[in-house]
Structure 1
Amino acid sequence: MAMHDPAQKYFNCTERDRAVFEAGIKLGTLYHQYVGVPLNLSNVDALERAMEGSLRVQPFVTDARVRIDRESIHKRQGVYKYITLYGEMLDVQVEVTYGSVRVRARLRYVEDMDYPLMYVEDVREG
């Protein structure tokens, strides 16, 4: 059982299940919160840091990394010199630790699926 988790009693699952669940929630939240935000090359660094910061303050997150594809910004800037963020531009890693389990999950565009996929990269126990 994870220490200091008042919600633990509501979860009928293992620490591993909960860690994976938490990682998925973090990626889904990030995706749906930020897709559509206006950006250009002048604010892309700040947006990456803000996204990382919003992940890091969530429960059980031990690390986060966000990269936005700058080439997409170059290609799509219109007459007003900005675009909106879309899922295919994101490469996100989040690490969640729950109890003795550490999960690394990822959101990135998978070209052969033509889809911004959220998936579990690694699970370590102990």
Structure 2
Amino acid sequence: MKKLITSKAIKQYAAVSKDNADIHLNAEIAMKTGYKRPIAHGMYVMGLAQSIYLINHPTKWITNYSMKFQEPLLVDTVVIFEYKECNGEIVVIVSIESGEVIASGALSVKER
């Protein structure tokens, strides 16, 4: 599933999570730290991965999850969430349209 990560969504997440770090919200600070623009919160990306899975699998419940981030996700980027079942877990791959993997992880799920 493709999802555009907007600055509006990041601002909303920052307000709810109280993580108002400049690297997520301030383009000038993000550029000073080496990024072209602000980056998404890792927990926002992980929460999206879980939410998208559950929307598409309404009879499932997530019992455990893990995610490793390989690259920062720049705001205003389209990301692709892919899910594959492997050895009883759901493997999650988060990539951008160029194919670069941003994060990967696994969800342990069970029937509700």
Q: What TM-score bracket applies, with the shorter chain setting the length?
A: 0.3 to 0.5
TM-score (norm 1): 0.34
Report which of the two has the higher share of helix.
1
Larger Rg computed on CA atoms: 1
TM-score between both structures, scaled by the size of structure 2:
0.37
Which protein has the bigger strand share? 2
